[in-house]
Amino acid sequence: MKIKLIKFLKAVFAAGCGFAVSYLAFSLPIALSNGGEESVIKLAIAAGVCAALFVLLLAAFALEKKKEQTAQNAARRQRHEERTRSCREYYDGTPYQVIL
């Protein structure tokens, strides 16, 4: 459930960031030609929204990467334990000792 939520949030953040960037791209020439203070404020708000959504998008990617890395480490640890167990079972009852 958390993975689906993270993917959904990534999509929402990416869409919002894309909308803010496109708003900036289309409104910047108009704001520069008019020179009005109101349009500059709107552009500043759009730039702030874009920056905030970009940071949230990066955080979502980092969280997903961390979860993947945790899962890989758990799988690696399980494989190591299985190899250790199989070695101990193989050498059980012999004069050899498994030192790990």
Q: For the chain, which residues make up each domain, given as ranges?
A: 2-68
Instruction: Specify whether the CB–CB gap between 24 and 47 falls below 8 A.
Output: yes
pLDDT given for residue 96 in this prediction: 66
The per-residue pLDDT of the chain, averaged, comes to: 81
Which residues of the chain are under the pLDDT cut of 70? 1, 95-100
pLDDT given for residue 78 in this prediction: 95
pTM: 0.60
Max Cα distance, the chain (Å): 90
- The C-alpha atoms of residue 60 and residue 3 are separated, in whole angstroms, by 10
